[in-house]
Amino acid sequence: MPLSRVGKRHMDLLRARIERFAHVEVTQRDARTSAAKSATRLVQWTGGAMLILLALFIGVYTRRQLLRSPAAFGESLAVSREREKALVASEAALAARFEDEQRTVREQAAQRDELNSAVQTFAVFIEQLAHGDLTTALKESSDGELHQLGENLRSMGRSMRVMMGRLNEAVAALSGATSEIMATTQEQSASATESAAAVTETVATVDEVTQTSQQTASHASAVATASRRSLEVSASGRQAVDETVGAMALVKRQVGSIADRILALSEQAQAVGQIITTVNEIAEQSNLLALNAAIEAARAGEHGRGFAVVAQEVRSLAEQSKRATAQVRAILGDIQKSTAAAVLATEEGGKAVASAVDTARVAGERIDQLAATIADAARAAELIVTATQQQVTGIGQIAQAMRAIDQATSQTVEGTRQSERAARDLSGLASRLRDAVEWPRTTTSSPSCGACFATRSTTTRSTWSARA
């Protein structure tokens, strides 16, 4: 498993350059060695030929001199001896030169062997680096031609070890960060999911409350409409009573005593009206008041028939008037007593007139009471309608806001899920990086991988030996 494609490619390029450099160096050394051998052989053959030619020349010259006079022969012999000495000196010089050439050849062979050994060492070192063994060390070479190259290779090994150490630290930090990010995103996803569920339930509840408020507003509007109609009916009844009272004014002088009693009855009726108003302000829904209104409507006769329906509607709005019921009953009792006294007082004026006056007065009072009650109920119904409409509007705004929150929460959930997926991808990348940086051996405690390079190193050394 290589460090990386780029690293392996750089290692291969470096190894190829070293091989080419070594091959060129060996080729040049071989060429110089061959040239030296050729020069040595040329010197040997040339020297031998010159010696042969010189010997032939000496022989011929000696023979000629022998044919001359003895003196000349002696002189020639001396010259020959001098020439022989010069020839011996020349042969010695040639032998010394040949020895120098042989020594040069041996030195070149030693340098070539040293170069082959250094190149093999460099190749094995580079091959071990390429296969992840960063603990390998390159021995320092002598101050030769490849000394600087060895220093550069050792510097490269140290740089790779430092780089892998920093990369291990970075990958460890990345792994820790991705673990924290995954934990955070998972917590956020769970919280967002719970929030989305809670918001969805709240939206459903708000929708139900909106429907209920709309129904309440509809019912309150119906009650207000019925109250307005009842007010119209009570106004008509009041007009009829006023006409009756106007007609009875003609006989007012005949029933003076009745007027005093009727005045007292009127004051008591006003007190009853005030108490009823107080009761209506304190409690808008009094069943007993509605029942009393129904009784009074029945007593009113023909004019009170239209109030039965209103009393039935008001009964649903009058549930808290129990405390005022006793006072209303007491006042009604006084009214009944006054009415009885008035009836007794008007017996002298005429039973028919007294009965008509009493009926008209009582009907007017009951109609006034019912009108006041209905007016209060109408105002209360209008207030209920207004409040309910405001409530419906507010709840609608709340529902719209909750829907917007629900949509935002859904987007938040989706965003947290995307963040969680991105964190998982980042964690996978960190795992792959950790596996990649854990492969190169940067410490001596790691298992030795020298055996895995034995075959290849042997092959490399054999290749260099064959080239040498």
Q: Encode pLDDT of 226-278 as tens digits.
A: 767 766 766 676 676 667 666 665 665 555 555 566 556 656 656 665 665 66
Split at pLDDT 50, 70, 90, the class of 64 is low
Residues 199-234 have pLDDT tens digits of 677 777 767 777 776 777 676 677 667 767 766 766
Mean of the pLDDT values across residues 350-376? 69
**Where do the domains of the chain lie?**
1-128, 230-387
**Is the pLDDT score of 468 beyond 50?**
no
Give percent of the chain with pLDDT exceeding 90.
0
Choose between 392 and 269: higher pLDDT. Answer: 392
> Secondary structure of the chain in the HEC alphabet?
CCCCHHHHHHHHHHHHHHHHHHHHHHHHHHHHHHHHHHHHHHHHHHHHHHHHHHHHHHHHHHHHHHHCCHHHHHHHHHHHHHHHHHHHHHHHHHHHHHHHHHHHHHHHHHHHHHHHHHHHHHHHHHHHHHCCECCCCCCCCCCCCCHHHHHHHHHHHHHHHHHHHHHHHHHHHHHHHHHHHHHHHHHHHHHHHHHHHHHHHHHHHHHHHHHHHHHHHHHHHHHHHHHHHHHHHHHHHHHHHHHHHHHHHHHHHHHHHHHHHHHHHHHHHHHHHHHHHHHHHHCCCCHHHHHHHHHHHHHCHHHHCCHHHHHHHHHCCCCCCHHHHHHHHHHHHHHHHHHHHHHHHCCCCCHHHHHHHHHHHHHHHHHHHHHHHHHHHHHHHHHHHHHHHHHHHHHHHHHHHHHHHHHHHHHHHHHHHHHHHHHHHHHHHHHHHHHHHHCCECCCCCCCCCHHHHHHHHHHHHHHHHHC
